[in-house]
Amino acid sequence: MPAALLLSRFPPAFCDALAERLELIGPHDQDASIALPADVRSEIRVVITMGTIKCGAGLIDALPNLGLICNYGSGFEGTDHAAAAKRGIVVTNSPSGNASAVADLAMGLLLAACRNILVADRFVRDGRWNGQGTSAARMPLVHGLSGRKLGIFGLGEIGERIARRAEAFEMTVAYHNRSRRGDDRYPYHETLQSLAEWADVLVVAARADAGNRHIVSRDVMRALGPDGIVINIARGSLLDEMALAELLRDRELGAAGLDVFEHEPNVPAALTALDNIVLAPHIAGGTFDAHATLKSMVLANVDAFLAGRPIPTPVVLKAAAATATG
> Does any domain span residue 233?
yes
In this structure, the answer to whether residues 14 and 132 fall within a common structural domain is no
Q: Comparing C-alpha atoms, which of 65, 42, 66 is closest to residue 55?
A: 66
CA distance 219 to 21: 51
Q: Is residue 117 part of a domain?
A: yes
Given the residues 128, 178, 263, 264, the one annotated as active site: 264
Choose the catalytic residue: 81, 138, 249, 282.
Answer: 282
The model scores a pTM over 0.75: yes
Residue type, 56: G
**Separation CA 264–CA 156 (nearest Å):** 24
The tens place of each residue's pLDDT in the chain, 326 residues long, gives 899 999 999 999 999 999 999 999 999 999 999 999 999 999 999 999 998 999 999 999 999 999 999 999 999 999 999 999 999 999 999 988 999 999 999 999 999 999 999 999 998 888 888 766 656 567 888 999 999 999 999 999 999 999 999 999 999 999 999 999 989 899 999 999 999 999 999 999 999 988 999 999 999 999 999 999 999 999 999 999 999 999 999 999 999 999 999 999 999 999 999 999 999 999 999 999 999 999 999 999 999 999 999 999 999 885 433 334 44
Task: Calculate ∠ Cα 32-26-302, nearest 5°.
Answer: 120
Q: Could you tell me if 93 and 105 lie in one domain?
A: no
In a domain, 30, yes or no: yes
Give dist(CA 98, CA 293) in Å, integer: 7
Say yes or no: 54 and 171 in one domain. no
Q: 305 vs 13, 49, 202, CA distance in Å? A: 21, 16, 40
Domain boundaries, position 41:
3-97+288-313
176 is catalytic: no
Residue 214: which CATH number? 3.40.50.720
**Within 13 Å, how many C-alpha atoms sit on residue 302's CB side?**
28
The answer to whether residue 20 is domain-embedded is yes
The count of structural domains within the chain is: 2
Task: Say if 26 falls within a structural domain.
Answer: yes
Cis peptide before 37 (omega within 30 of 0): no
Measured between alpha carbons, how far is 290 from 74 in angstroms, rounded to an integer?
Answer: 11
Distance set, CA 41 to CA 53, 207, 301 (Å): 19, 31, 21
My answer on whether 163 and 250 are in the same domain is: yes
CA distance 131 to 137: 10
110 with 217, same domain: the answer is yes
Do 259 and 199 reside in the same domain of the chain? yes
Residues 275, 292 within the same domain:
no
Q: Residues 165, 88: one domain?
A: no
The pairing of strands 149-153 and 90-92 is unpaired
- Residue at 67 is within a domain: yes
Residue 325 lies in a domain: no
Q: Quick one: 85 and 124 in the same domain? A: no
Q: For residue 204, which phi and psi values (nearest 5 degrees)?
A: -95, 115
* Nearest-angstrom CA–CA distance, 249 and 271: 9
- Residues 120, 69 share a domain: no
Could you tell me if 139 and 92 lie in one domain?
A: no
Q: Exposed (0-12), middle (13-18) or buried (19+): which is 217, by Cβ within 10 Å?
A: middle
- Is 241 a catalytic site residue? no
Question: One of 235, 241, 262, 291 is an active-site residue; which one?
Answer: 235
Q: Are residues 229 and 303 in the same domain?
A: no
Residue 318 in domain: no
Alpha carbon distance 81, 175 (integer Å): 28
264 among known catalytic residues = yes
